[in-house]
Amino acid sequence: MAVLNVNPTRMELRRLKARLKTAVRGHKLLKDKSDEMIRRFLIYIKENRSLRLEVEKELSLALKNFMLARAVSSDAVIEEAIAYPSVSAELETSTANVMSVNVPTFKASESTSKDLYPYSFASVTSELDFSISTLSSLLTKMLRLAEIEKTCNMLADEIEKNKRRVNALEYVMIPQLEDTIKFITMKLDENERSSTIRLMKVKSMIENRDGQETT
């Protein structure tokens, strides 16, 4: 039994009761928050996983094609071909609020150029075309993956923190308050009883004395 170091007075008792009420309410709210966060987390993590599988597969393929293209043509040709890309990838970033966790969101701005390939088709092989077209179509998926993965990271962090708070309330704070309240109540009752007994004792003593004086 863990009792806080407080004076067993009525005022303290009142204060502790108020604290206990707050703690119980807070515990319930935090627990609900934890439940909802885990529910959302599960939705995100499932999407995260399938998206990652997809991106990794397609990206590996695209990079392999790129390697092939590099093997066929000389390094200088490839580097010259892509030295000045005709498109530029830019994005607007902001934060969204998921269960009071600030997570990133992106909005990719459309590239204005109509032509994806910055080189002439005569100089390089078709593997390069293929890998670049896959890569550029993959970019939106990669950005979505970035967004979701970060969301999952941060949610997992927050869930862990929240769990600690819930446990601290449930297993430390609330029992401590309850024990202390019990301790103070018992102490006060004890005081009351002892003062009653004292009064009775004094009364009987007075009665005894008065009886002796009259005889």
Which residues bind to other proteins, rule: CB under 8 A? 38, 41-42, 45-46, 48-49, 52, 55-56, 59-60, 62-64, 66-67, 70, 78-79, 81-83, 85, 87-93, 95, 102-104, 106, 109, 111, 116-118, 131-132, 135-136, 139, 142-143, 145-147, 149-150, 152-157, 159-160
Tally of residues, the chain: 215
Distance in Å, CB of 182 to other proteins, minimum:
33
* Closest CB to other proteins among residues 7, 88: 88
**Contacts from 100-105 at CB under 8 Å and sequence distance 24+?**
101/151, 101/154, 101/155, 101/158, 102/154, 103/147, 103/150, 103/151, 103/154, 103/155, 104/146, 104/147, 104/150, 104/151, 105/147
For 48, which DSSP code? H
Distance in Å, CB of 83 to other proteins, minimum:
8
CA distance 119 to 117: 6
- Report which of 74, 106, 104 is spatially closest to residue 90, judged by C-alpha positions: 106
For 84, which DSSP code? S
Distance in Å, CB of 157 to other proteins, minimum:
6
For 151, which DSSP code? H
* Closest CB to other proteins among residues 23, 145: 145
Residue type, 101: V
CA distance 181 to 178: 5
Distance in Å, CB of 32 to other proteins, minimum:
16
Retrieve residue 104's tokens.
């990133």
* Closest CB to other proteins among residues 132, 181: 132
* Closest CB to other proteins among residues 108, 172: 108
Distance in Å, CB of 41 to other proteins, minimum:
5
Distance in Å, CB of 85 to other proteins, minimum:
5
* Closest CB to other proteins among residues 117, 183: 117
* Closest CB to other proteins among residues 78, 181: 78
